[in-house]
Chains A and B, each alone.
Chain A
Amino acid sequence: MQDEHDNRTMGRREFMKCMAWAGTGTLLLMKGGVLHARTLGTEAGAEAKDATFSFAQVSDSHIGFHLAPNPDPAATFRAALAQVDALPVRPDFVLHTGDLTHLSRPDQFATVQGLMQESRAGKGKVLYVPGEHDVIGDNGAEFFRRFGERQHDGGWYSFDHRGVHFVGLINVLNLKAGGLGYLGAEQLAWLKKDLAPLSAETPVLVFAHMPMWSLYPEWGWGTDDSAEAMSYLRRFGSVSVLNGHIHQIQQKVEGNITFHTARSTAYPQPAPGAGPAPGPLKSVTPDKLRSYLGVRSVRHVQGKDALAVTEEAMA
């Protein structure tokens, strides 16, 4: 389905051809309590016209990575942001779901900031949560200094945007030996309190770097205490959970909760269990790389309690 949408328009195809090593995207549509994922293209653009608002998701830019299959993730991140800028309807904000950098180095964070300033969308409102690659050695001090929302010491935050309640969670700190992603008791207590005053009809969108369900624990693809978070979210009619981390699109529906993982703008990783380890898919050739990378758009239609999710590959 994604390929079908990817190849639909000449204009887009030509645009993509100009972007060597480009990544790609996702459009998220919320309808009737279920989040639908679409590849970005003309149809997604047409659907966006009846939306009250939309936003774009980029993830796993891994600035500082320099090996196969992508020696220049800055170029593909730039291309991904250009793709957001080219959306037919301007998104209200951009969401980066972590692993901005590869090694948490100040120069790598500075590169991310510089690339954001080159983009119209990137110069606007951008919300971030850190990935485990952004908190190495300093528990995220540099990340939070540059990109943190500063609502709480722990770095998590929430806000309301045109009727949708957004929650940014941190699940990459204080990880335990042998464990997965981790939210911790303090953050869970905050989440419970944050959600308490909301009516069950409020659409809720939660985002965090690591998958919030047991996607593939053998490779660390999950969050140890996500079930507790989900117990607070289950009463809502429409909950969407956006994650990065695994550099590919995976989805799961659990009652009214829909989980989506995003593509990376840097390099793909293997499908769960396909291969010995979750490292970069080195075998991807330069001409095929773009089809593995992407951007996601999410739009909300007033009067409907669902968000629409559309994926856009870079090629």
Chain B
Amino acid sequence: MSGRLVLAACLLLAVEGSALAAHAAVDATATPNRIEIHNFMFMPKTLTVPVGAKVTWINRDEEPHTVVSAGGQFAPSKALDTGDRYVTTFGKPGTYTYYCTVHPFMTGTVIVK
């Protein structure tokens, strides 16, 4: 619970441009450059990576999910069935909000810097 609060707080801070605090907290909980999709959630919900990093999503649910940039900032995944992966490389710094188009209440953020 407190972890989720920290993440939410970090996200707010990051959006406001105060990226220092976000970096420390997110890296403590995340497997580097890897986002697990489980129980209809992107874990971690916010991932911070350096410019040029490859990020991999893995679907651990029985339901299919997609990874689609909310602002069309990176190429969308196909439908990810159970166990499927999607990899994309982030070449430019920025805050990339994405969601699952099948279950749009599932959202996540990749911060590239």
Contacts and interface: CB of A to CB of B under 8 A. Distances in A.
Given A103-B64, A220-B105, A177 B99 contact: yes
A222 to B, nearest CB: 10
A220 B103 contact: yes
Contacts of A219: 40, 105
Given A136-B64, A218-B105, A220-B104, A277 B41 contact: yes
B105 A277 contact: no
B30 interface: no
B105 A67 contact: no
B98 to A, nearest CB: 8
A277 B61 contact: yes
Interface stretch (A31-39, A252-260, A278-286): A278-286
Contact of B62 (A175, A179, A276, A280): A280
A300 interface: no
B81 interface: yes
A102 interface: yes
B82 interface: yes
22 contacts: A67-B62, A68-B62, A102-B64, A103-B64, A103-B81, A133-B102, A136-B64, A136-B79, A136-B102, A137-B76, A177-B70, A177-B97, A177-B104, A178-B104, A178-B105, A178-B107, A218-B105, A278-B63, A279-B39, A279-B63, A280-B63, A282-B62
Nearest to A104: B79
Interface string B62-96: 11101000100000101101100000000000000
